[in-house]
Structure 1
Amino acid sequence: MAFPNSSTPLLPRGSTFVTPSLLWKSGAILAAAGMIAGAFGSHALKRRPGITPEGLSAWGTATHYAIFNGLALFVLSMHPRFSTHKFAGPAIAGGGFVFSGSIMALVLWKLKFLGPITPLGGIAMIAGYITLAL
């Protein structure tokens, strides 16, 4: 059995981990989650005890980012060159889930340890988009 070292790739060479189908499905999940969370925020979240106007605003930001990144992944999945990009799509999808999910968890459950996690999701999303421009 060979043990990994610093030169071992994260994914095997020729890996088809990033596929247009994966990006499409990730986009669908992010967009749907954003819409569901937006509806929850508009109707049920306001009535929860301890939810502040700032929390509702943060919730709105999280839902918007989820939907926008979901739509971006739909478009990305149809691009002939970038639909199989090994970094951009996964960074946008993962960053979107981390960014939006951590904000929602902060608002719902006051999990303060997630505060520093949110910017990491944002950085991943930004890096994914910048990679598309290079």
Structure 2
Amino acid sequence: MKPTTIIQTAAIFGAIAVGIGAFGAHGLKSMLEVSGRLETFETAVKYHFYHSLALFGLGMLAMIKPEWKKLNLSYWGFTFGILIFSGSLYVLCLSGITWLGAITPLGGVAFILGWLGLFWGSFTSPGSK
């Protein structure tokens, strides 16, 4: 993955996280409180934003260490983690479709794979000495 693509993905995800977070705090707060899902929504936003920042850092690292080609696993782990973990929680909170909670852990696994991909990419890539 090109560093600019990683940074652009981070920028889009970051902007979406801020927008969703603000919408949740101002436009949806009372609905989320009534449904008891405010904390779940806040968790989704936190993980979304944390991993947007992680993607940004990954893009910067990819610029500094272009020889670390195996960082792609990290990119895809963070990206799918945001989409599956945070995405499923957003839909759960807004729709009440509870079976989505069953796929949320897959997003968590994707996040873990993203972090392990960062480790693996730095450890096994040429020039990582």
Q: TM-score, normalised by structure 1?
A: 0.78
- Confirm or deny that 1:55 pairs with 2:41: no
Identity %: 34
**Which of 13, 21, 24 is equivalent to 1:30?**
13
- Confirm or deny that 1:108 pairs with 2:94: yes
**Which of 33, 43, 47 is equivalent to 1:65?**
47
- How far residue 47 of structure 1 moved from its aligned partner, in angstroms, is 3.1
Partner Cα distance (2:69, 2:48) in 1:
19
* Structure 1 residues 115 and 78: CA distance shift in structure 2, 3 A: same
Partner Cα distance (2:118, 2:33) in 1:
41
List runs of 5+ in structure 2 lacking aligned partners.
121-129
Partner Cα distance (1:19, 1:105) in 2:
31
- Confirm or deny that 1:20 pairs with 2:3: yes
Aligned-residue RMSD, C-alpha: 1.9
- How far residue 51 of structure 1 moved from its aligned partner, in angstroms, is 3.7
Q: Give the aligned partner of residue 75 of structure 1.
A: 57
**Which of 85, 88, 95 is equivalent to 2:74?**
88
- Contact 2:92 2:98 (C-alpha < 8 Å) held by counterparts: yes
The Cα offsets for residues 39-68 of structure 1, whole Å up to 9 and x where unpaired, read as 01111112338843x401111111111111
Task: Identify, as 1 or 2, the structure richer in helix.
Answer: 2
Greater Cα radius of gyration, structure 1 or 2: 1
How many residues are aligned here?
A: 116
Q: TM-score, normalised by structure 2?
A: 0.80
